A and B are shown apart, each in its own frame.
Chain A
Amino acid sequence: MSVIVTDTGFAPEDFTCGFVALSDIAANDCDYGIDLASDTAPTALVGLTNAAMIRIDFPSFADGRGFTLAAMLRSAGYKGRLRAKGHVLADQYAMARRSGFDEVEIDGALAARQPAEQWKFRADWQNHNYQARLRG
């Protein structure tokens, strides 16, 4: 069972429309979430600005491409919900939030090993942020 992590801790899934892969967006009879793989080409992000939800996969915590994809979506003007899904560590929560993600989706096993307190420890992600300070 997936767990959704936000600044307030753990919560169950509340996005009910389901997800489709980027290549399968067609009959948009519902506001599907769009699943992006970590190796999505930057050019494929064009046109996603109005999506309701985008979920970027983290196949491994060592694969940091999702952070840049998130930053690119935000700088292109994407205002919708943005989720990091997969092998994300509590220690990466601040990076995810600062890169533009709203939330992280992890599986039950990871949630059991890294409980909510360890994630909430970095709910202060807006503090001590060099990049925000330099951008002004």
Chain B
Amino acid sequence: MYTYTDFDEAFVRERVAQFRGQVERRIDGSLTEDEFKPLRLMNGLYLQLHAYMLRVAVPYGTLNPTQMRKLADIADRWDKGYGHFTTRQNIQYNWPKLQDVPDMLEALADVGMHAIQTSGNTIRNVTADHFAGAAADEIEDPRAIAELLRQWSTDHPEFQFLPRKFKIAVTGAAHDRAVTKAHDIGLRMVRNDAGEAGFEVIVGGGLGRTPMVGKVLRNFLPKADLLPYCEAIVSVYNLLGRRDNKYKARIKITVHENGLEKIQELVEDRFATIRAGFSGHDQDLLAKIEAAFAPPAFVTKSIGGYEATRLANPAFRSWTDTNLAEHKANGYAIVSISIKKHGATPGDATSDQMRVMADLAETYGHGELRISHEQNVILPHVHKSDLAKVYAALRQVDLATANIGLASDIIACPGMDYCALATARSIPIAQEIATRFDELEIEHEIGQLKIKISGCINACGHHHVGHIGILGLDRAGVESYQITLGGDGTETTTIGERAGRGFSADEIVPAIERLVTGYLGLRRDADETFLQAYRRLGKQPFKSILYPAQDKANAA
């Protein structure tokens, strides 16, 4: 995987020095809070309900063991011994002190990491398929492109004060695990008729207040045109995007209000000029980055007693059934480590757990870790003969929950337990739902089910694309939860439909239970997932389950 060049290293060190100066100038009064705020946000520092929060980028979700250990050390030294993995492949620390943040950033720089542009009205951390470089269905590893985009977008002079934030996601696989259609720019690697790899460029997707599925701006963009083309898009958006209303400032609204054709025309026109300014040096750098992402030296060996252990140990078997994905190399598996133990906070890992995962990656995983947008940690390259050892080690630290893709593998934003923007809590709802399904012991029977919870309309918890989405709102001074149904964040992206009136904090968990157990009675057979059943039957039968009394009243 990519490691920092001298250039990258010098850049982040310099950036830390700048931020150290900015913190000092805020404290001595040279900078007002209004002026300091965008500067701290550009360096990932928020002011939340109870403390500052530092959001550290895990570019394209990739970490090496040294980096993971450093994240653990930072959690111990400057925070409360844990970190929170987010839906945008970041890790958040919830309790830093302002004066400590430059030191935390310095510690990150020691291992080639940063918190740059994890917030603010700028191009955010570029995300990618968390199975990149390992998935069986991949055209190319998208991380080289994501790294190139990271370099291009970092400190881009034109794009630090955009109308609103700007998110880019990349996938190299047919199956979209990066939610590319819900990003400002989504890049899907495709091949043209000549067999060359390039991109389908999707623009104007996004969740939030006005959820929209991205639209194809270009069917095929040659790889060599990627940076000038992206620059053209963001440049057009910077001038055209609305600045009078922050709810209408994202590019999805710019595209919606101006029409795709108009945007296409402007982008192509701008692209022609900008393209001329690129001499090809970016492609030389890309070639080096691609070499850095060359696959590890996979070994060919017997899978040992893997199958026998599976047969002998039902708990291990269950874990392998849910937490493994198909790897492109023979004898290997992709391991998803669930950071969703029933009743725990989704996405929170303690420093001890981080160290164990780092050790496992080092010993059994070719030195690679990934953070998924579903708030889990991935060991992308584990040989099947090592799975039993990996499982045993994970069990020791409560990381062996066999629930990937199931009802308790819930995405939840921090909600009003931490976030200053939240309108209701998310975490306790996620905890209660997971605990309840664990008690009922039916989540394996339910099968694939994506429940996603956001604590406000901004939709960090991706509720719009959950098979079941839950949105926490403040209704007249009381927490209230609205359910959406039928959302999908993959290549068949669909925005969920609102089911009906909201539920109180006491009603929401029973409502979800009713909905899911009701689905078991509606499905055609055990293979029909919740989403498939919803698509076949439509909203009505699910609505009747959610609002039984109301349904009777209507019938009467």
Interface residues, chain A, with chain B CB atoms under 8 Å away? 41-42, 61-65, 67-69, 71-72, 75-76, 89, 91-92, 94-99, 113-115, 118, 121-122, 127-131, 133-136
Contact between chains at B227 and A134 (CB < 8 Å) = yes
A75-B274 contact, Cβ under 8 Å, with A61-B35, A128-B10, A134-B281: yes
B239 touches A (CB below 8 Å): yes
A68-B158 contact, Cβ under 8 Å, with A134-B278, A135-B278: yes
Contact between chains at B14 and A127 (CB < 8 Å) = yes
Contact between chains at A113 and B158 (CB < 8 Å) = no
Q: Which residues of B contact A95 (CB under 8 A)?
A: 157-158, 160
Question: How far does the Cβ of B425 sit from chain A's closest Cβ, in whole Å?
Answer: 31
Q: List residues of B (269-289) whose CB comes within 8 Å of A's CBs.
A: 273-274, 277-282, 284-285
B121 touches A (CB below 8 Å): yes
Q: Give A96 to B238 CA distance when docked, in angstroms.
A: 15
Task: Report the interface size for chain B: residues with CB under 8 A from the other chain.
Answer: 43
Q: Which of B30, B273, B279, B284 contacts A114 (CB 8 A)?
A: B30
Q: Give A136 to B22 CA distance when docked, in angstroms.
A: 31
B-side interface mostly: helix
Contact between chains at A131 and B38 (CB < 8 Å) = no
Q: Give A72 to B158 CA distance when docked, in angstroms.
A: 10
A128-B158 contact, Cβ under 8 Å, with A91-B18, A135-B277, A135-B278: no
Number of A-B contacts (CB under 8 A): 110
A61-B161 contact, Cβ under 8 Å, with A71-B235, A133-B7, A136-B281: yes
Q: Give A63 to B239 CA distance when docked, in angstroms.
A: 10
Contact with A along B179-211 (1 / 0, CB 8 A): 000000000000000000000000000000000
Contact between chains at B158 and A71 (CB < 8 Å) = yes
Contact between chains at A91 and B156 (CB < 8 Å) = no
Q: Which of B30, B31, B281 contacts A133 (CB 8 A)?
A: B281
Contact between chains at A134 and B285 (CB < 8 Å) = yes
Contact with A along B50-80 (1 / 0, CB 8 A): 0000000000000000000000000000000
Q: Which residues of A contact B279 (CB under 8 A)?
A: 135-136
Question: How far does the Cβ of A5 sit from chain B's closest Cβ, in whole Å?
Answer: 15
Question: How far does the Cβ of B310 sit from chain A's closest Cβ, in whole Å?
Answer: 48
Q: Which residues of A contact B238 (CB under 8 A)?
A: 64-65, 67-68
Contact with A along B272-314 (1 / 0, CB 8 A): 0110011111101100000000000000000000000000000
Of B147-155, B319-327, B457-465, the one contacting chain A is B147-155
Apart from the given pairs A75-B274, A91-B39, A134-B285, 20 other A-B contacts in the complex at a CB distance below 8 Å: A62-B38, A63-B161, A64-B159, A64-B161, A68-B238, A72-B235, A76-B273, A91-B22, A97-B157, A113-B29, A113-B30, A114-B30, A114-B31, A118-B25, A128-B11, A130-B156, A131-B155, A133-B285, A134-B281, A136-B284
